Structure 1
Amino acid sequence: MSSTPIVAYRLTRLAFERDRTIGDSQVRATSVQLVAVELIDAKGNVGLGFAQSLFTPLPDSAEIDRIFAAEAWPGLEGRHPAALAIAVRRVRGGNVRRMGLPFEESLQHAIWDLFAKQSGLPLWRMLGAERSAVGVYASGLDYHLSDHDFSELFGNARERGFLGYKIKVGHPDLERDVHRLDLLRKAVGSDRPVMIDANEAWTAQETIQALRRFERAGHSIYWLEDPIPRDDFDGLKMLRRLGVSRINAGEYLDLTGKRKLVEARACDMLNVHGQVSDVMRAGWLANEANVEVTLGNTFLEIGVNMALALPGVRWLEYSFQNFDHLVDEPYAMADGLIHGREAPGHGLVLSADARARGGALPNATSAAA
């Protein structure tokens, strides 16, 4: 299939309640605020992405369309998805800024989806993957859950065959973190890796104290994620030298920050997620430095495509969010593995029910065409 330009778009505003409160030691969220972004080429192929506003309500549909038309569409209209996907741009001065709404990641997903569809390939195959499945660990986003709900969530994860478990830590009372690790062991046993994520709650010295306390309580931590502020490379290097747990970092850094983190040898694992181009570039940098890559949360597990393509990735994060109803068919997972889709593109299609409930902007396609 030959490449054809992008000629139209369609936006669908979606809002609904989460099935549980999610969050960590710094934030919490109880509702979902989304825009489904569909880019349409001259032959009618559609590329899909989702823009998520985690903590701020989205404006009404008309304002969403105004922002998209003013800030995103001029760089998309008439352009070929292939050219947009692989372009390297000179980033300088005033053009280094965020859009008024968080469209960046959704655009990369939609562009790469459309690019792969035009190529007639599943996205993971187009990215060079030589395997069709990758391991999955269960991530609770569980900091604000009651002990009962925490135990239920991870007990269910055990029954579904996840290969490891990650919980949120960083409570002001360290004994509460110990208690949660105790509850996790009761719910899932002790035969699979346990990871913890502090979301930058600690200093380096507090991290050392926490790890030693967990050791005394009989808990072996497979990796420790983002224990201290993202740019404290000296602190991260000190924690690496201790060797008490693998240091997984980089989630909060952009591509430039990830490069500096790897060059500083300040992590055992580089955490990537989100934008396809940036993930692949970060993965290449990590591979050059022989640093393992972990694939963090991505919307509807779209990151499986990059996880399959990057040879150093052994894990994909799965966090039990009630998003599956948004698409016709989510990615399949069984026996601790998640599988790529064989359909061209990333394989996710906005469901008719989601479109009807959200209400696609009726004039977006005609206005953009």
Structure 2
Amino acid sequence: MRIVDFRITRFQFLRDRVIGDSQVRADDVHVAALELIGERGDIGLGFVQSLFHPLPSEAELVRVFREEVWPGLEGQAAGALAHRVNRPRGGNVRRLSVPFEEALQQAVWDLFAKSLGMPLWKLLGGRRDHVRGYASGLDFHLPDDDFSALFETALSQGFTAFKIKVGHSDLDRDIHRLDLLRNVAGPDATMMIDANEAWSPKQTIANLEAMRRAGHDIFWVEDPVLRHDFEGLKLLRQTAGATLINSGEYLDVSGKRQLLQAGGADLLNVHGHVTDVMRIGWLAAEFGVPITLGNSFLEIGVNMAVALPEVEWVEYSYQNFDHLVETPFAIRDGNIHASRAPGHGLVLSEDARRDWRRPEILDKAELGEAPRQIYLG
């Protein structure tokens, strides 16, 4: 199916809570929907995100896309684009002016799968339609009551595995949050932590030991040290006991390859770039390193998770995006289920386009109330 047109819809709204970790915080959303339109009228959908700053106006997004991206898409077959391998050389090794890259991969693969009448996960080789999820709070800045309420919601949805943000300057605060989680989830819950590079290797070893002494067995620690400290990550794999080292979130495909070669990951963290995830997934399989799917927009990553070998976990973070699509992926008994519809399974909601479209940049004070997804105390 050849691509004949495109459409971009800009959204801006408040979150229903402050999200963040030991390094960042955010309480609003800047996102745009990219729709690639095929010659038969099918639509491939992808999402552009900016975590910290508003995206340009809708007109500017369209201008940049038409100038920098559209010449390489117009008239091209979606399947050919999905499989194309480019060799970056010289001046073409640069990012786009607006971060369209992930949205392009999502939209192209969505359109390709629709052209074949197949769910994306089946096109990618999947033989199962669901994968176990873990509830991730992005909770570093939440008050204790809201922290507990969020994970009570997760427990009620059948989740049995939970990840919290750590890396506070006072380790007692991190341990206190683990205590709160244990009170909510019970003694049999699987507990993960994410330090977002807050620690050194020696700090990580000491902190994990302090958590064990406090009664908390940590299933994995995510990104405890600097992303390129491959020697430190390898050391942690050798000294962290039963706790697994989940790393690679902040690295591109080349960086993930170097991480695997250095032996710095028990689990490799990947995200929502369909082509990139599949390529690094194949490489990780050769190294015998399981993949975990971190946050991807509205859990699009479940398509890759069910297609790759040895993927046991997909992150679910209550990001408050559900109102943007007609039907989010189903969550039952703590499992995230892929869609059986052709494509990746997400369709932009026309109600959202009508009610939440923001063509121009608005000040935060102009955004009104946030759409509600979860209850916080």
The residue aligned with 2:144 is 147
The residue aligned with 1:251 is 249
One-letter amino acid of the counterpart of residue 274, structure 2: V
The residue aligned with 2:289 is 291
The residue aligned with 2:369 is none
One-letter amino acid of the counterpart of residue 216, structure 2: H
Q: Find runs of 4+ consecutive structure 1 residues off by over 6 angstroms.
A: none
Rounded to whole Å, the distance in 2 between the matches of 1:123 and 1:208 is 41
Counterpart of 1:81 (choices 72, 78, 83) is 78
Counterpart of 1:104 (choices 77, 97, 101) is 101
Contact 2:182/2:189 (<8 A) preserved: no
Compute the displacement of 1:338 (Å).
1.1
Cα offsets for 1:270-296 (capped at 9, x unmatched): 001110000001111110010011010
The residue aligned with 1:117 is 114
Cα offsets for 1:24-55 (capped at 9, x unmatched): 00001100011100000111110001101110
Contact 1:301/1:331 (<8 A) preserved: yes
Rounded to whole Å, the distance in 1 between the matches of 2:268 and 2:56 is 34
Rounded to whole Å, the distance in 1 between the matches of 2:358 and 2:313 is 35
Counterpart of 1:331 (choices 307, 329, 351) is 329
Rounded to whole Å, the distance in 1 between the matches of 2:358 and 2:165 is 36
Q: SS in structure 2 opposite 1:259?
A: helix
Compute the displacement of 1:163 (Å).
2.8
- The alignment yields a C-alpha RMSD, in angstroms, of 1.0
Percent of aligned pairs with the same residue? 61
Counterpart of 2:64 (choices 55, 63, 67) is 67
Cα offsets for 1:220-278 (capped at 9, x unmatched): 00000000000000000100001331000000000001011111111100001110000
Counterpart of 2:207 (choices 206, 210, 217) is 210
Counterpart of 1:171 (choices 161, 168, 173) is 168
One-letter amino acid of the counterpart of residue 352, structure 2: A
Rounded to whole Å, the distance in 2 between the matches of 1:322 and 1:359 is 15
Counterpart of 1:229 (choices 220, 226, 231) is 226
Contact 1:135/1:163 (<8 A) preserved: no
Contact 1:11/1:360 (<8 A) preserved: no
Contact 2:36/2:44 (<8 A) preserved: yes
Q: SS in structure 2 opposite 1:183?
A: helix
Rounded to whole Å, the distance in 2 between the matches of 1:44 and 1:279 is 28
Rounded to whole Å, the distance in 2 between the matches of 1:187 and 1:98 is 43
The residue aligned with 2:363 is none
Contact 2:3/2:77 (<8 A) preserved: yes
The residue aligned with 2:272 is 274
Gaps of 5+ in 2: 360-377
Q: SS in structure 2 opposite 1:43?
A: coil
Counterpart of 1:52 (choices 41, 49, 52) is 49
One-letter amino acid of the counterpart of residue 265, structure 1: G
Normalising by structure 2, report the TM-score: 0.93
Rounded to whole Å, the distance in 2 between the matches of 1:130 and 1:276 is 17
The residue aligned with 2:134 is 137
Rounded to whole Å, the distance in 2 between the matches of 1:299 and 1:230 is 22
Q: SS in structure 2 opposite 1:9?
A: strand
Compute the displacement of 1:208 (Å).
1.1
Q: SS in structure 1 opposite 2:312?
A: strand
One-letter amino acid of the counterpart of residue 280, structure 1: M
Q: SS in structure 2 opposite 1:194?
A: strand
Q: SS in structure 1 opposite 2:172?
A: helix
Compute the displacement of 1:75 (Å).
1.3
One-letter amino acid of the counterpart of residue 149, structure 2: E
Q: Do the aligned partners of residues 147 and 201 (structure 1) sit closer, same or farther apart at CA in structure 2, a change above 3 Å counting?
A: same
One-letter amino acid of the counterpart of residue 281, structure 1: R
Contact 2:271/2:277 (<8 A) preserved: yes
Compute the displacement of 1:358 (Å).
4.4
Rounded to whole Å, the distance in 1 between the matches of 2:114 and 2:358 is 22
Compute the displacement of 1:107 (Å).
0.7
Rounded to whole Å, the distance in 2 between the matches of 1:175 and 1:147 is 14
